[in-house]
Amino acid sequence: MSSGAGVLALDGPAGAGKSTVARRCAQLLGLTVLDTGAMYRAVTIACLHSGVDLQDGAACARIGQSVAIVLEDDGRVFLDGRDVTAEVRTPEITATVSTVSAHAMVRDIMVRHQRLWAEHHGAGVVEGRDIGTVVFPAARVKVFLVASNFERARRRLNDEVEAGRTVNFDDLLADLERRDRIDSERVSSPLKPADDAVLIDTTGRSIDDVVDHIVSLYRARS
């Protein structure tokens, strides 16, 4: 089982900049990225399609156990062989994923996959909510990204506009805050920085600046 000694753990709430920062850091370090949020989103699609009660952790876990989720190194997501890269980002999945990902039984299955991924890749950038605290407590570098709620909602608005969807800023902000609450207050692996994580506030900082900071932290420990 991988200890995660080569892992750059990138945690933080939605909209803090994890995905963009993860991709850039990985490029500079010659590593691949594992987007664990996409795994929880793929399970959520499978649960919705199967019609199970999303509040039923055992039922959601049975679905999680029975499906094949493949995350390609280029970021594409496959669920039982079907390309769901676009579907994982739809508002319906974004609105329901926190419910499914709060179940400990679902998390156990995903964490097992994430550790196998690290064992296979040896090193990599892993982004999520519990990577530094639970999945890879011995990660080489742990970063916890934050940004103001206003800034995070503004970034999400840009993403939605780019995806061709019309959304209301206040609704986005309210949804971010609702998800933060569910992710931070859940009993199983709540969203919180590891004791030894480096906290980086990305509000008003350029991506290049944040990426340079993280890349030097990782190189300093290589």
List of residues contacting ligand DC (CB under 6 A): 14, 36-37, 40-41, 97-98, 101, 128-130, 179, 183
CB of 220: closest distance to ligand DC in angstroms? 25
In the complex with ligand DC, the residue whose CB is nearer, 136 or 218, is 136
Contacts of 106 (CB under 8 A, 6+ apart): 40, 43, 57, 60, 61, 64, 100
* Residue 92 CB-density burial (10 A; 0-12 exposed, 13-18 middle, 19+ buried): exposed
In the complex with ligand DC, the residue whose CB is nearer, 4 or 216, is 4
By the 8 A CB rule, do 97 and 41 touch?
yes
Contacts of 67 (CB under 8 A, 6+ apart): 42, 43, 46, 79, 80
CB of 127: closest distance to ligand DC in angstroms? 7
Return the structure tokens found at 55: 């509040």
In the complex with ligand DC, the residue whose CB is nearer, 83 or 216, is 83
Contacts of 87 (CB under 8 A, 6+ apart): 45, 93
In the complex with ligand DC, the residue whose CB is nearer, 41 or 140, is 41
- Residue 36 one-letter amino acid: T
In the complex with ligand DC, the residue whose CB is nearer, 24 or 129, is 129
CB of 60: closest distance to ligand DC in angstroms? 13
> Percentages helix, strand, coil for the chain, rounded to the nearest 5?
55, 15, 30
Helix axes 36-50, 91-101, angle to 10 degrees: 100
CB of 202: closest distance to ligand DC in angstroms? 15
In the complex with ligand DC, the residue whose CB is nearer, 149 or 219, is 149
Is the four-CA dihedral 55, 56, 58, 59 of positive or negative sign?
Answer: negative
CB of 3: closest distance to ligand DC in angstroms? 18
Contacts of 122 (CB under 8 A, 6+ apart): 6
